[in-house]
Amino acid sequence: MCLAFVTIKRDQVNYFDASIGSLLSGLDDKERRVFSLNVLFANTNPDVHPSWGQLWMDRLIDSVSSYNVSEKDFQRLRALEESHNWYEKGVHDYTYVLDQCYLTRAPYIGIFEDDIIFADGWLAKTLRALHDIEDQLKARNWLYLRLFYTETALSWTSDDFAYRHMSFIFLVAMIASCGALLLIRRTLPSTRRHLDIATITVICTITVPAFTGLVFMIGKYNITPMRGVVEMNKYGCCTQAMIFPRDQVPNLVNFLRDRNGGQTDSLIEEYADAEDLRRFALAPPQVQHVGIRSSRDNLEINTRTSPAAIPGYNIVDIEWEVQVTAGGPTVNVTGTVEEVYAHLKTINPDFETEFPPIDHKNSIEARAADYSVSSYFCQGRWAGCSWSRIQQGISYLDGVPGRPSNGPGPGNCGRVSCSYNSAIYWCNDKLTRRDWGVKNTYQYTLDGFYDIASGASFIGQTCLIGTDTTSGQVFYADNWNVIVRGDSC
The domain made up of 2-153+227-295 has a fold known as Spore Coat Polysaccharide Biosynthesis Protein SpsA; Chain A (3.90.550)
Max mean pLDDT range (8-22, 110-124, 224-238, 297-311): 110-124
Pairing of the two strands 142-146 and 278-283: parallel
Give the long-range contacts of residues 375-380, CB within 8 A, separation 24 or more.
Answer: 375/474, 375/475, 376/458, 376/459, 376/462, 376/472, 376/473, 376/474, 376/475, 377/472, 377/473, 378/459, 378/462, 378/463, 378/470, 378/471, 378/472, 379/463, 379/465, 379/471, 379/472, 380/472, 380/473
Residue 480: Cβ within 10 Å count = 24
Closest CA to 425 of 465, 472, 366, 466: 472
Poorest-pLDDT segment among 153-162, 247-256, 362-371: 362-371
Residue type, position 137, single letter: L
pLDDT digits (tens, 9 = 90+) for 74-103: 999 999 888 777 778 989 999 999 999 999
Confidence of residue 442 (pLDDT cuts 50, 70, 90): low
pLDDT digits (tens, 9 = 90+) for 319-353: 777 777 777 777 777 777 777 777 777 777 777 67
Closest CA to 421 of 342, 304, 335, 341: 304
Separation CA 360–CA 410 (nearest Å): 29
Query: 98, 252 in Cβ contact below 8 A?
Result: yes
Residue 362: Cβ within 10 Å count = 10
Residue 466 confidence (pLDDT): 75
Q: Is the pLDDT of residue 362 over 80?
A: no
Confidence of residue 300 (pLDDT cuts 50, 70, 90): very low
Poorest-pLDDT segment among 152-156, 183-187, 224-228: 152-156
Phi, psi (deg, nearest 5) at residue 6: -110, 120
- 339 Cβ contact list (under 8 Å, min separation 6): 157, 158
Query: 486, 306 in Cβ contact below 8 A?
Result: no
Pairing of the two strands 385-386 and 469-470: antiparallel
Question: What DSSP designation does 44 have?
Answer: S
pLDDT digits (tens, 9 = 90+) for 246-271: 999 999 999 999 887 777 887 898 89
Closest CA to 39 of 56, 25, 27: 56
pLDDT digits (tens, 9 = 90+) for 44-77: 999 999 999 999 998 999 999 999 999 999 999 9
pTM of the model: 0.61
Query: What are the distances in angstroms from CA 114 to CA 15, 296, 354?
Result: 6, 13, 49
Separation CA 46–CA 57 (nearest Å): 14
- 298 Cβ contact list (under 8 Å, min separation 6): 383, 384, 486
Closest CA to 36 of 110, 98, 145: 110
Q: Is the pLDDT of residue 296 over 80?
A: no
Q: Cα dihedral sign for 171, 177, 183, 189?
A: negative
Q: How many CA atoms lie within 13 A of 214 on its CB side?
A: 6
Q: Is the pLDDT of residue 316 over 90?
A: no
Separation CA 249–CA 122 (nearest Å): 23
Q: Cα dihedral sign for 41, 46, 50, 56?
A: positive
Q: Cα dihedral sign for 155, 160, 162, 167?
A: positive
201 in helix, strand or coil?
Answer: helix
Query: 170, 189 in Cβ contact below 8 A?
Result: no
258 in helix, strand or coil?
Answer: helix
How would DSSP label each residue in 85-121?
A: -HHHHHHHHHHHHHHHHHTTT-SEEEEEESSEEEPTT
So where are the chain's domains?
2-153+227-295, 161-218, 314-486
Q: Is the pLDDT of residue 359 over 60?
A: no
What is the arrangement of strands in the sheet containing 402-406, beginning at the earlier edge strand?
330-334, 319-323, 402-406, 444-445
Closest CA to 302 of 412, 152, 427, 426: 152
Question: What DSSP designation does 431 have?
Answer: P
Q: Is the pLDDT of residue 367 over 60?
A: no
Question: What DSSP designation does 5 have?
Answer: E
245 in helix, strand or coil?
Answer: strand
Separation CA 418–CA 127 (nearest Å): 34
Separation CA 216–CA 220 (nearest Å): 7
Q: Is the pLDDT of residue 432 over 60?
A: no
Residue 311 confidence (pLDDT): 61
